[in-house]
């Protein structure tokens, strides 16, 4: 079930998935405000971050402050972020100084990108010509040396998102994470096939809103960046 005011086109698989789902509306409803962290210098340079702990750039901090203005009139009961600087800094700025508990957890981290972390796609292509095509493929079981597969991250995100959802059924929750990890979170929330990971693209500090019930979820807005006034950057390095 998707609101008609969602502006971004979804893939055929995404639409088909929703046609096939029968939702049972329960009386308990929570809301997840899902956000990808603000921009970092590595985002701007197209460098892969993964588990490398990079803080926000000035532009990224400004994006988070703009998000705080957007959320100023919105009730939020609790917040979660990964324990990476770029997400925790984004969450704190987005909360705008409100007295709200922020849980920082490594379970919301981005994919570990192994030996590719810190590199651009051009550098990977040059230094790892045999691995480069594999990295670009939509392969659930591929990972760079020392990294995580899509299947690994999906299993991790299913558990933490289910816990957040069940622990806060009647509350509004801010969740700040990373582009790749959030793709897996959306697949879990919306009961999509795991291949749906590639159906989503999250911009820095874009706002996604999902209403959660005991046994389903309703997507209200996806990657809304209207509060950023053109400052959003769709970088590859999540």
Active site residues per annotation: 37, 110
- Which element (helix H / strand E) includes 153? helix 150-167
Short-list 195, 135, 137, 189, CA closest to 160: 189
Identify how many contiguous H helices and E strands the chain contains and give both numbers. Answer: 8, 6
Length of the chain: 238
Tell me the two tokens of residue 35. 């956000």
Strand-pair partners of 81:
104, 176
Is residue 216 packed enough to be buried (19+ CB in 10 Å), middle (13-18) or exposed (0-12)? middle
Rounded CA-CA distance 224/207 in Å is: 5
């Amino acid at each position: 079930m998707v609101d008609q005011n969602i502006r971004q086109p979804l893939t055929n698989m995404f639409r088909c998935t929703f046609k096939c789902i029968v939702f049972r509306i329960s009386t308990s409803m929570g809301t997840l405000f899902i956000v990808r962290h603000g921009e970092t210098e590595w985002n701007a340079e197209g460098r892969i971050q993964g588990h490398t702990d990079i803080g926000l750039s000035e532009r990224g901090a400004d994006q988070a402050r703009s998000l705080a203005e957007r959320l100023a009139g919105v009730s939020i009961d609790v917040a979660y972020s990964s324990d990476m600087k770029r997400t925790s800094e984004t969450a704190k700025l987005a909360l705008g100084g409100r007295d709200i508990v922020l849980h920082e957890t490594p379970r919301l981290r981005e994919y570990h990108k192994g030996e590719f972390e810190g590199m651009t796609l051009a550098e990977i292509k040059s230094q790892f010509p045999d691995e480069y095509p594999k990295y670009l493929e939509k392969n659930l079981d591929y990972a760079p040396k020392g990294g995580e597969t899509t299947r690994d991250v999906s299993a991790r995100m299913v558990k933490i998102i289910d816990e957040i959802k069940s622990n806060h059924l009647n509350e509004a929750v801010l969740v700040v994470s990373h582009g790749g990890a959030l793709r897996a979170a959306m697949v879990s929330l919306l009961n999509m096939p795991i291949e749906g990971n590639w159906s989503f693209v999250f911009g820095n500090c874009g706002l996604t809103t999902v209403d959660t019930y005991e046994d389903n979820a309703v997507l209200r807005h996806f990657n809304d960046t209207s509060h950023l006034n053109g400052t959003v950057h769709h970088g590859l390095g999540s």
